[in-house]
Every structure is written in C-alpha cells, then in structure tokens.
Amino acid sequence: MQRRTLVLAGLAVPGLAIAHHGWSSFDQDRPIWLQGKVTRVRWQNPHAELQLEVPRDLRVPADLAGRTLPAQSASVDGKSLLARAVVPTRRDTSWEVELAPLTRLRAWNVEEIKPGAQLGVLGFTFKEEKGDPVLRAEYLFVDGKVYGLRSSPA
C-alpha cells in the first residue's frame, strides 16, 4: 500500500510543477501595468490568482513613477520598474494575475481580495506571449495601499 501511495504521489508532482510558474518564465525587463476590476479569485497556494478585467483604453497612470513603494527583503529596484512601466501590447480585456503565496500575502497583511474589487498591478508577462494572458505580480495596488510581492516586508 505504501509503495502505491508513493508512486501515485510521484505521478502527481510533475503536474504541479507545470502549473506553477517560476520567475525565470517571465520577462522581467518589461514591467507591465494593469488596472481594473477583479472578476474571479482563487485564494490558495501555491499562489493566489485573480482574473482581472481591464479597459480597452488602459493607460499607465501619470503619477505611477512617483508613487512610494514599500521596502522588501529582496533587492528590487521598484522605482525603475514604475518608471519603465507600459501597458501590454496584447489587447486582451481579461487577464490572469498570479500573486504571491498566501504566507507572503499574510506577511504583508493583504486582505483577501473579493470579486468586484478595483486594483492596479505592476508585473511581468511570459517571455513568449502565447496562450492566455498571464501577469505575475511584482507590486499590488489596492485600497490606497501598495504591497511588494517578490519577498517579505523588510
């Protein structure tokens, strides 16, 4: 019985690895800005996910580069990312946004986001834009607060 359990567990692990995207899969040289309404939430590990509805005429906010960012334990040049932010070249109006693991979201005191919430996010798309539009969040802007999601608060 134990051997069968180990074999079944081993078969399940590769599927999990495919579903979880590491930072290296994303184009960290091109920070992307999204802003809109949350339509769906998956608040569970390996990381929380949101479905974000964005307007077709999405623009980078004029004040984005001047916004104050929280310190993180990882070295992130957030000011440079904000200054270089662009809207996606894709014109999809529905985006999957990958947030941090729940333990990190708790460390930042991020309240569980609900459908209908309005928020902004700065992050990165896949290096090759194929398939559904996905953004990995670096900074989350919600209810007047900013959270750095690469690492824990400094």
Over residues 43-79, the pLDDT tens digits come to: 999 999 999 999 999 999 999 999 999 999 999 999 9
Give the pair of three-digit tokens for residue 116: 């209908």
Which of 135, 64, 152 is CA-nearest to residue 99?
135
Residue 116: its H or E element: none
Dihedral Cα 55, 85, 100, 144, nearest 10 deg: -70
Reply yes or no on whether the pLDDT at 1 is more than 80: no
Residue 123: its H or E element: strand 118-125
- What integer best gives the mean pLDDT of the chain? 86
pLDDT value for 44: 94
Domain ranges of the chain: 23-148
φ, ψ for residue 115, nearest 5 deg:
-55, 140
In contact, 135 and 124? CB cutoff 8 Å: yes
- The structure's pTM equals 0.83
CATH for 23-148?
2.40.50.140
Reply yes or no on whether the pLDDT at 26 is more than 80: no
Task: Tell me the C-alpha distance between 152 and 25, whole Å.
Answer: 21
